A and B are shown apart, each in its own frame.
Chain A
Amino acid sequence: SQQGEEDPQALSIQEGENATMNCSYKTSINNLQWYRQNSGRGLVHLILIRSNEREKHSGRLRVTLDTSKKSSSLLITASRAADTASYFCATDGGAAGNKLTFGGGTRVLVKP
C-alpha cells in the first residue's frame, strides 16, 4: 500500500513557469522526503523536511509540510527543460516504521 499520494498525476508547463505538486499521507511520520526520477530508473533525493518543520528551501525548490492536514507540497521555481522528470514524495517513520513509503508520483513535463 502507498502512504503518500501525489497530486496532480501529471503536469505540463512552459520553461520559466513554476511547478507545484502536492502529497497527502495517512499516518504519523518522522519526516517526509521528495525524490526525482528520470527515465524510470534510479531515484535522486531532493529534500527532506522533518515533522517539526513547516517549510524548507534548497535552491529552486521549496517544500512545505502541514502535519495537521497530513500534506506536503513541492514547488519548483523558474522551471527548466532539465526539470522534466517524475517526482515522488516518501514518508518515513512514525506509524509505518523506518521504511520509506512512496506515493504514485507526479510526472512533470517542462516544455522549452
Chain B
Amino acid sequence: GAGVSQTPSNKVTEKGKYVELRCDPISGHTALYWYRQSLGQGPEFLIYFQGTGAADDSGLPNDRFFAVRPEGSVSTLKIQRTERGDSAVYLCASRAGGRFAEAFFGQGTRLTVV
C-alpha cells in the first residue's frame, strides 16, 4: 500500500464498551508497532510485532489491552471495558526488516471515551 492506514480516524465510545482499532501496514513490512499518545506528550510504546508474534508487549498498560496480527500484516488493537483514561491518539507504525530501517506512521485513531 501507499502508506500505513489506520481506521477509524476517530472513535467515540462510552465508558465500559469494547473497541477495536485497525492498522494496515505498508505491504512487506515485517515489524509493526502500536503507540498511545496523550496531548502534549510523546508516543508511549504499547506493543511490537515481528511477523505474527508479539516480540515485546511490555508497554500494554493492563489486561484490558490486547493486540493481534494473525497473518503478519493487518493488526488490531483491542480495548475491553474502556475507561476515560484510555482517551488518546493511538498510533501504528510499520518498518521493513533490518536494524536501521525507518518507521512509517499512520495518521492515528483518536479515541474518546465518554
Contacts and interface: CB of A to CB of B under 8 A. Distances in A.
A100 B33 contact: yes
Contacts of B99: 30-31, 92-93, 98
A42 B91 contact: yes
B42 A48 contact: no
B45 A43 contact: no
Interface residues of B, number: 28
Given A102-B43, A104-B41, A43 B50 contact: no
Size category, A interface = 20 to 34
Interface string B91-114: 101000001101111111000000
Interface of B: 4, 31, 33, 35, 37, 39, 41-45, 48, 50, 55-56, 59, 89, 91, 93, 99-100, 102-108
11 contacts: A6-B42, A30-B100, A35-B105, A40-B89, A41-B107, A41-B108, A42-B108, A92-B99, A100-B45, A101-B45, A104-B42
